[in-house]
């Protein structure tokens, strides 16, 4: 195919994706009842950043001083603030958060902007599939399916995973380019976007040891590989330090802690420990209740007695979630935050077999947004098991899946960024036999 033909074909794809994105925006936001301010504090922090220059969870108020916090990672609140200032939404934000007026107007405009971000993410996904050598049809199909899967979450829920997905995608992309080209510039870009990802979803801080193993195994040329390894590691370390260290020092100054955020780690671990205590009968009902199939939960609740699934219902006072949060609150009163995390982690790992069994259930739960791609992701890795390069490309996806399966209750939104890796691998899988793969 001639370059000009490919160019026009890609342009037509971008146009089609854009049209579908806008259609989805108007579909998801057709009712004002769908638009609600999230309760996670990100909008409050954004308000205080814009109006008081303080990273604070204090209730929005123009007259009172704001108290600094490290409850949340900084990436997403700063991103929200940048969007609000860029599109001149400050007055609407004040009316909504301070006066409780015109929130629907404010949130609709935010949703429109987030729909643009959604479209850019999907276009980037399409382009990545093409760069890696996937066929045009496979790239377009997985992009369209991904748009349908992620659009509602990105457009009306305003979770930090919206930004996390885009940064996750960029990090994976530049990691793939670095492993293939060995260029230092690719390593720098990877390090920058990974730093921003960590500052948005601080769980990815634990990806660094995982990546160092990848770097040691694949990140060098055969000639002078020791020097190459060392140079790559120094670039990686300095880039991460440049972006992350200022925020860590800020938290140590205010809170005597070198953590990026105390964003509910104790609650998450306590929640996981409570799930680890479930019976075999509860495990079996969990496989059904959390099956990543649309409508399965409603079907279970309608046809099976609540006595079997009420502990899985997050609104129930008897649920794993509520019990985990109560235990977490009690622990924090008895111990400091760091001690509580260590205590819970030891409890979780004290029974490796039970933890492994529950990890299967958590992994199953976490596939909600990417279950349609998961079988092809596995098939692709099996068919390319000797090509370690592909393991490195999808290492962020693999890490995210393993980490949340092993150590958290895998809230389904935690699996949201994995759509990128699963979708790209699916496009590559269906392209393997139909085209000659191009060089990345």
88 has pLDDT over 80: yes
DSSP 306: H
- Check residue 56 and give its pLDDT: 92
154-195, pLDDT tens digit by residue? 777 788 888 888 898 888 888 888 877 778 888 899 999 999
In a domain, 440, yes or no: no
The stretch 115-141 carries a mean pLDDT of 86
In a domain, 16, yes or no: yes
Q: Does an H or E element contain 411, and which?
A: none
Q: 232 with 343, same domain?
A: no
Q: Give the residue among 319, 323, 294, 295 at the shortest CA–CA distance from 309.
A: 319
Going by pLDDT thresholds of 50, 70 and 90, the confidence category of residue 439 is very low
Locate tokens 């760069």: which residue? Answer: 131
245-299, pLDDT tens digit by residue? 999 999 888 888 888 887 678 888 999 999 999 999 999 999 999 998 878 888 8
2 has pLDDT over 60: no
Q: 269 with 300, same domain?
A: yes
Please indicate whether residue 263 or residue 149 has the higher confidence score (pLDDT): 149
Phi, psi of 68 (to 5 degrees): -60, 155
Last residue of a domain, one of 315, 348, 364: 364
With 0.75 as the threshold, say if the pTM is over it. Answer: yes
* Cβ-contact 153, 111 below 8 angstroms: no
DSSP 266: H
Q: 339 with 402, same domain?
A: no
B/e letters for 384-404, b = 16+ CB within 10 Å, e = fewer, are: beeeeebbbbbbbbbbbbebb
Give the DSSP per-residue string, 385-413: TT-HHHHHHTHHHHHHHHHHHHHS---GG
Rounded to whole angstroms, the Cα distance separating 16 from 137 reads 13
Q: 352 with 374, same domain?
A: no
228 has pLDDT over 80: no
Last residue of a domain, one of 336, 364, 392: 364
Q: 248 with 156, same domain?
A: yes
- Check residue 425 and give its pLDDT: 93
Q: 343 with 413, same domain?
A: no
Q: 249 with 107, same domain?
A: yes
Q: Is 56 helix (H, G, I), strand (E, B) or coil?
A: strand
Q: Which two tokens stand for residue 260?
A: 């990026």
Last residue of a domain, one of 364, 379, 404: 364
- Check residue 336 and give its pLDDT: 76
370 has pLDDT over 70: yes
Minimum mean pLDDT range among 148-152, 196-200, 281-285: 148-152
- Check residue 105 and give its pLDDT: 85
DSSP 62: S
Q: 77 vs 34, 204, 250, 266, CA distance in Å?
A: 22, 17, 16, 22
Rounded to whole angstroms, the Cα distance separating 236 from 251 reads 23
- Check residue 3 and give its pLDDT: 46
Q: 190 with 114, same domain?
A: yes
Q: Give the residue among 152, 30, 158 at the shortest CA–CA distance from 96.
A: 158
Q: 314 with 398, same domain?
A: no
* Cβ-contact 420, 123 below 8 angstroms: no
B/e letters for 39-64, b = 16+ CB within 10 Å, e = fewer, are: ebbbbbbbbbbbbbeebbbbebeeee
Q: 110 with 206, same domain?
A: yes
In a domain, 76, yes or no: yes
Locate tokens 């300095």: which residue? Answer: 238
**Which residues pair with residue 56 across a beta bridge?**
68
Q: What does the mean pLDDT of the chain come to? A: 84
In a domain, 438, yes or no: no
DSSP 68: B
In a domain, 437, yes or no: no
- Check residue 435 and give its pLDDT: 53
- Check residue 217 and give its pLDDT: 66
212 has pLDDT over 50: yes
Q: 284 with 171, same domain?
A: no
Residue 296: which domain range? 265-364
224 has pLDDT over 60: no
In a domain, 436, yes or no: no
Number of domains in the chain: 2
In a domain, 311, yes or no: yes
Locate tokens 């979450």: which residue? Answer: 153
What is the radius of gyration, based on Cα positions, of the chain?
23
Q: 269 with 418, same domain?
A: no
322-337, pLDDT tens digit by residue? 998 899 888 888 887 7
In a domain, 327, yes or no: yes
* Number of CB atoms found within 10 A of residue 237's CB: 13
């Amino acid at each position: 195919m001639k370059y000009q033909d490919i160019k026009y074909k890609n342009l037509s794809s971008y146009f089609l994706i854009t049209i579908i994105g806008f259609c989805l925006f108007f579909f998801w936001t057709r009712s004002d009842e769908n638009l609600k301010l999230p309760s996670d504090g990100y909008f409050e922090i954004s308000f205080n950043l814009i109006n008081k220059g303080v990273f604070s969870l204090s209730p929005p108020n123009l007259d009172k001083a704001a108290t600094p916090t490290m409850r949340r990672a900084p990436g997403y609140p700063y991103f929200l603030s940048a969007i609000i200032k860029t599109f001149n939404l400050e007055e609407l934000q004040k009316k909504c958060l301070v006066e409780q007026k015109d929130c629907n107007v404010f949130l609709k405009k935010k949703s429109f902007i987030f729909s643009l971000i959604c479209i850019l993410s999907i276009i980037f996904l399409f382009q990545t599939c093409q760069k890696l050598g996937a066929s045009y049809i496979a790239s377009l199909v997985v992009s369209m399916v991904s748009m349908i899967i992620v659009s509602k979450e990105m457009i009306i829920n305003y979770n930090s995973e919206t930004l996390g997905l885009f940064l996750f995608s960029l990090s994976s992309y530049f990691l793939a380019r670095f492993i293939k080209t060995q260029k230092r510039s690719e390593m720098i870009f990877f390090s920058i976007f990974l730093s921003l990802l960590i500052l948005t979803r601080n769980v990815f801080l634990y990806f660094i040891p995982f990546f160092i193993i990848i770097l040691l195994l694949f990140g060098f040329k055969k000639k002078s590989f020791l020097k190459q390894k060392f140079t790559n590691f120094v670039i990686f370390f300095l880039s991460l330090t440049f972006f992350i260290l200022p925020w860590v020092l800020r938290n140590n100054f205010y809170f005597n802690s070198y953590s990026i955020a105390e964003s509910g780690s104790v609650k998450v671990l306590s929640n996981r420990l409570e799930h680890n205590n479930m019976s075999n009968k509860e495990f079996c009902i969990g496989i059904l209740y959390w099956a990543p199939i649309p409508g399965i939960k409603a079907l279970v609740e309608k046809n099976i007695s609540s006595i079997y699934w009420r502990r899985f219902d997050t609104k129930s006072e008897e649920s794993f979630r509520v019990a985990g949060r109560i235990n977490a609150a009690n622990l924090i009163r008895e111990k400091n935050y760091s001690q509580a995390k260590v205590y819970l982690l030891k409890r979780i790992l004290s029974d490796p077999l039970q933890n492994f069994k529950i990890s299967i259930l958590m992994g199953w739960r976490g596939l909600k947004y990417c279950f349609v791609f998961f079988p092809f992701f596995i098939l692709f890795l099996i068919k390319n098991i000797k090509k370690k390069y592909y393991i490195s490309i999808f290492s962020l996806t693999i890490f995210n899946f393993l980490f949340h399966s092993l150590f958290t209750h895998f809230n389904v939104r935690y699996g949201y960024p994995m759509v990128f890796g699963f979708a790209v691998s699916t496009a590559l899988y269906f392209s393997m036999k139909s085209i000659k793969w191009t060089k990345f």
